[in-house]
Structure 1
Amino acid sequence: MRSPRFRHGLPRAVLLLLAVLLAVPCLAAPAGAERPGKAAIASAHPLATAAGFEVLARGGNAFDAAIAVGAALSVVEPQSSGIGGGGFFLLHSVADGKDVFLDARETAPAATRGELWIGTDGKLDRDKSVNGPLSAGIPGEPAAFTWLAAQRGKLPLKVSLAPAIRLAREGFPAYPRLVAAIGQRRAVLERWPAAAGLYLVDGAVPAEGQRLRFPDLAATLERIAESGDAGFYQGAFAQRMVEAVRAAGGTWSAEDLAGYRVKLREPLTVAYRDWRIVTAPPPSSGGIAVAEMLNILSGYELGRLDRVQRTHLTIEAMRRAYRDRAEYLGDPDYVQMPVAELTSPLYAAGLRASIHPQKATPSALLPGYGAPAESTHTTHYSIIDADGNLASVTKTVNLTLGSGFVVPGTGFVLNNEMDDFALRPGEPNAFGLVGGDANAPRPGHRPLSSMTPSFVIGKDRVGVIGTPGGSRIITMVLEGILAFIDGEAPAKVAANPRFHHQYLPDVVSAEPDAFSAEETRALEAMGHVVNRGERTWGLMNVVSWERTTGTVQAGSDPRGGGGAGAAAVK
């Protein structure tokens, strides 16, 4: 496929040459202790964090713990992720010193074609794109767990999955976030008896504290523990899923499931001052956007600026990176993308030159394009083990409780990731925003994502960071990286108030405590439109290792109420 033309900045040939000449240097490894000696885990639920430590105590490493935490979250946080979905796993192995990006993003079924989601009026049918099996891509999480156990772990899969199996069978108390999610999606769950039977109790939304058990999910996890991903993607279990999906209007085939593979990709690396940021490559848009924003901001002495000026420049960097996000990015296996240009320091210098130090740039003055958005219902967890192995994992089923569709007898909800494609280029998705042809739905393609699991590596500090939050993930990770570089501890990084700009709409979203009234007035005087006091967003989890002191820390986001925020060091 022809690569899209690069419509602003210097000519491509010049940029490619300079990208090579200005390639990110390999920064020296941190000095200090050779290993942390302790482990840190931060996840969205205490039971998931406990599952990770249980597996570490049985002799596992960070990658075994990543299976345990992820599988436990599929039990206790089904509104955000699960084995019916997928995700991204950024991994650092002490044994070989390498960083690996495991892409377990869902894929479009072979029968995918854009008209499947078009209604009789010729417009995108929102119900089909977000509810029911037609909205579901082929899940990737079971394949990721199998790969982790076989290629990076120290324990058999059945040991790493044991805590989640026990949780699913013995149950756990319903907590406010989960109860609210089930209430929000109740009408959709009630369309399918298996979904209603799984998440409703006697036809009603469960009460807080009520014990929830998922025996079918326990059996599914046991099948994966025994047979690996073949127990999910092949045989009678796979056939049962195909038959149920097709009977309810979906297009899955046995070949779609049998043909699913995780992808190993080279992580993106960007140098920012004396730090090395390792982050997500496509089909994540997040790493490229973070690299572009950091490259722009590297031209300023942010530490010497007052908060209003620093915020203004950060917003302008966000605006430009989000403009590029939808224009150029898609599935790297099928779409040629100008990644070298977008992440080039020289390209960033050109963008920086277009930023007025005292005035906002109206988004309408930049070359036009809309940014696609994804659900905020995702999860992230961060792990450092005692040897210094790192895992930064972000995974999702997309909308709250995914598609709302459950195959009878399986115990989990299917994702609705097909809505993360630009199902009809130029047509708004569930969040009122649009995407381009590079992210159009095609057989076997993986939809563009904002998920941005990252490492922040300095001379004597190492951080593992990530968050859910849909299209706001990218700006949260950017702000978290900058705060960590400024010396803040994980708990502070995760709790900081946030602001966000994504090019369109041309508005600065701000959490209630993000700006003072005086700061808001100053930003507005520069021309920014500030929505001050919006709802909070995200559920960030951060862990760190101070190499000079040997200190290991973990911080979970206080947002989200009961069941959220589980950080521990042992």
Structure 2
Amino acid sequence: MTRLSSWRLIAASAFLVAGTGVASARDAATDTPSRGPGHAAIASANFLATNAGFEVLGKGGNAFDAAVAVSSTLAVVEQQSSGLGGGFMALLHRASDNRDVFVDARETAPRAVDMKVYVGKDGKPNREVSTRGPLSAGIPGEPAGLVWVAQHYGKLPLSVSLAPAIRVAKEGFQPDSRFLGAIADHKDDLARYPASAAVLLPGGNVPTAGWTLKQPDLARTLERLAAQGRDGFYKGETAKLLVSSTRKAGGNWTAADLESYTVKEREPLRVDYKGYRIVTAPPPSSGGVAIAEILNILGGYDLTRLDVAHATHLVIEAMRRAFRDHNEYLGDPDFVKMPLDMLLSTYYADGLRATISPDKATPSDLLPTAMASEPGMHTTHFSVIDADGNMVASTLTVNLEFGSTFVAEGTGVFLNDEMDDFALVPGQPNAFGLRGSLANAPEPGKRMLSSMSPSFVFGADRTAVIGSPGGSTIITQVLEGILAFIDGKDASGITAQKRFHHQYLPDRVDVEPGVFDDATAKALTAMGHVLKERSPWGFMNVVTWDHRTGKLDAASDPRRPSGLGKVQ
């Protein structure tokens, strides 16, 4: 039997014999307590956004109102990572009825999408088209998502929750070194578009420390959203500006694209691991499926009985297999059928585990080829728990830094470059090195696959709200954060721990400096793993809750000093 057919036999057997390994909504004894902690915690990538969340809580809002305030303020102060021109995926927990829901505000392909536009003469993806300018932009989902969360789950008018962002956009703020560094890195691209240069290149130059960035156009866009709700962005003045500006610059957006955008509510994925319930993101996020698959594989081992090298080896091998399936099967659930019952089955995990040698790496080219460049950090995440026990884990993005680098004139909005997250040429890597199949090929109105993995971890005594930016590394960061929480680490320990990452292709283990001691690194190399050191990555923001004491803990990734985790 060939390698490929034996692998398929494992998959088919799991699909036919086993039901899903994902737990049902109410069958575990690890639900959150009926009474909240009595105070609140927020961790986000910028202190102004964290403070905006607390400002709205102080006006009588709940975690969902705070999420709108944090998201919209990040859209002003962290435009290199998120914004009204992008999208988000959010996991919500409503304490009053113990309900978990996933809000999908991912961008969609415009109706006039044409794959041929994104393919170069050499048959490979044309990165100039797929990552720069209006043709790289999907129809934004963040504004509609903010309105949806406020109207369906919040307590306050949208105008109150958006007020901090509007104020900061009008009055200005001083960008931190990370923001200024991103401007310097993309100066030439920003200079190509007059509206982009007008926002970020005063006098045509890269600004320096102490510069105050005021954004009156963005403030007016936010004011229209606050006053008119969804129609304030997807119809009327803002929509006219978006369509005219993109089409003038060679894009293909229409008024119908904007008017027809819809937010989707989806059922989260749930998986049990070592007595904990993990609630995570479903497709079109690939992250939750991969995390669940990895945990199901690792569930068959007692990692605590192994030395660090062998335990790490097993985690890497589980990552390898999950990312292979990520590349092969996943896409927008409204457009493609995915074998989720198979992928999430514990029986399927048993079969995958049987292919793992306890002390030897499996070269990725010995696994069936899937239809994976350096991972990037150009997304953002925040976590919230309020006094009543409502929770939000939200990951927001414009894809690469400043997205398409194109600002729609008169709006102050940087458009995303999420079209690059489609499999524009099946089997060819995108900007994050991920390879996709036809399941993730672009179609009108389709959502591109994402790695965003906002997650909750429910234990008998402790709960965590966790997520991170990081392109394809989001999945492994959140996985390692979950494992660290289960091992007893607090929020600061989770965000600060060193990271490693394997995504099937390229066949290597990316490692932060100092993640392994010399003996562990030598042992992993002897097993056949290729270790590649790279600069630290991620911007994880975590909130934890100890049910026994009511204590909340919040931490922002120490790799990025602009973040703030705060309990109040």
Aligned to 1:176: 177
Flag the 1:313–1:144 CA change in 2: closer, same or farther, 3 A. same
Alpha-carbon separation, structure 1, partners of 2:92 and 2:367: 36
Aligned to 2:265: 264
- Residue 566 of structure 2: which of 555, 563, 568 is its match? 568
* Residue 300 of structure 2 is aligned to residue 287 of structure 1: no
Aligned to 2:348: 347
Aligned to 1:207: 208
2:198 aligned partner, one-letter code: G
Greater CA drift, 236-245 or 366-375: 366-375
Aligned to 2:551: 551
Write the deviation string for residues 375-426 of structure 1: whole angstroms up to 9, x where unpaired.
4200000000000000000010000000011111101200000000011212
Aligned to 1:377: 378
Checking the alignment, whether the CA contact within 8 Å between 1:543 and 1:552 is kept in structure 2 is yes
The ranges of structure 1 where at least 4 consecutive aligned residues each deviate by more than 6 angstroms after the TM superposition are none
Equivalences for residues 401-440 of structure 1 within 5 A: 401-440=402-441
* Residue 82 of structure 2 is aligned to residue 81 of structure 1: yes
Write the deviation string for residues 146-178 of structure 1: whole angstroms up to 9, x where unpaired.
111110000000000000100111111121100
Flag the 1:325–1:163 CA change in 2: closer, same or farther, 3 A. same
Alpha-carbon separation, structure 1, partners of 2:161 and 2:543: 21
Alpha-carbon separation, structure 2, partners of 1:45 and 1:16: 48
Greater CA drift, 458-467 or 6-15: 6-15
Structure 2 counterpart SS, 1:147: helix
- Equivalent pairs counted in the alignment come to 563
Checking the alignment, whether the CA contact within 8 Å between 2:392 and 2:465 is kept in structure 1 is yes
Flag the 1:552–1:6 CA change in 2: closer, same or farther, 3 A. farther
Give how far 1:445 is off.
Answer: 0.5
Checking the alignment, whether the CA contact within 8 Å between 2:22 and 2:271 is kept in structure 1 is no
Alpha-carbon separation, structure 2, partners of 1:21 and 1:456: 17
Alpha-carbon separation, structure 1, partners of 2:349 and 2:272: 13
Write the deviation string for residues 25-51 of structure 1: whole angstroms up to 9, x where unpaired.
721245867210110000000010000
Alpha-carbon separation, structure 1, partners of 2:506 and 2:32: 44
Structure 2 counterpart SS, 1:493: helix
Equivalences for residues 93-112 of structure 1 within 5 A: 93-112=94-113
Checking the alignment, whether the CA contact within 8 Å between 2:383 and 2:465 is kept in structure 1 is yes
Aligned to 2:363: 362
Write the deviation string for residues 41-96 of structure 1: whole angstroms up to 9, x where unpaired.
00000010000000000000000000000000000000000000001010000122
Aligned to 2:306: 305
Alpha-carbon separation, structure 1, partners of 2:329 and 2:429: 17
Aligned to 2:197: 196
Checking the alignment, whether the CA contact within 8 Å between 2:329 and 2:439 is kept in structure 1 is yes
Alpha-carbon separation, structure 2, partners of 1:129 and 1:521: 40
Structure 2 counterpart SS, 1:89: strand
Alpha-carbon separation, structure 1, partners of 2:543 and 2:14: 40
Checking the alignment, whether the CA contact within 8 Å between 1:372 and 1:471 is kept in structure 2 is no
Aligned to 1:224: 225
Structure 1 counterpart SS, 2:395: strand
Alpha-carbon separation, structure 1, partners of 2:371 and 2:336: 18
Give how far 1:8 is off.
Answer: 2.3
Aligned to 1:235: 236
Aligned to 1:534: 534
Give how far 1:10 is off.
Answer: 3.4
Write the deviation string for residues 285-319 of structure 1: whole angstroms up to 9, x where unpaired.
00000000000001111122211111011001001
2:550 aligned partner, one-letter code: G
* Residue 461 of structure 2 is aligned to residue 460 of structure 1: yes
Give how far 1:209 is off.
Answer: 2.2
Give how far 1:118 is off.
Answer: 2.6
Aligned to 1:391: 392
Alpha-carbon separation, structure 1, partners of 2:11 and 2:502: 28
Alpha-carbon separation, structure 1, partners of 2:97 and 2:34: 18
Greater CA drift, 302-311 or 192-201: 302-311
Alpha-carbon separation, structure 2, partners of 1:38 and 1:276: 23
Give how far 1:470 is off.
Answer: 0.3
Alpha-carbon separation, structure 1, partners of 2:376 and 2:159: 31
Give how far 1:124 is off.
Answer: 2.8
Alpha-carbon separation, structure 1, partners of 2:92 and 2:494: 21
Alpha-carbon separation, structure 1, partners of 2:358 and 2:128: 45
Structure 1 counterpart SS, 2:183: helix
Checking the alignment, whether the CA contact within 8 Å between 1:33 and 1:548 is kept in structure 2 is no
Aligned to 1:71: 72
Give how far 1:256 is off.
Answer: 0.3
Aligned to 2:451: 450
Write the deviation string for residues 207-256 of structure 1: whole angstroms up to 9, x where unpaired.
12211111111111011000001010012321221111111111100000
Alpha-carbon separation, structure 1, partners of 2:373 and 2:446: 16
Checking the alignment, whether the CA contact within 8 Å between 1:290 and 1:474 is kept in structure 2 is yes
Structure 2 counterpart SS, 1:542: strand
Structure 1 counterpart SS, 2:408: coil
Alpha-carbon separation, structure 1, partners of 2:489 and 2:122: 53
Flag the 1:568–1:431 CA change in 2: closer, same or farther, 3 A. closer
Flag the 1:6–1:22 CA change in 2: closer, same or farther, 3 A. farther
Structure 2 counterpart SS, 1:10: helix
Alpha-carbon separation, structure 2, partners of 1:121 and 1:367: 26
CA RMSD after TM alignment: 1.7
Alpha-carbon separation, structure 2, partners of 1:566 and 1:436: 38
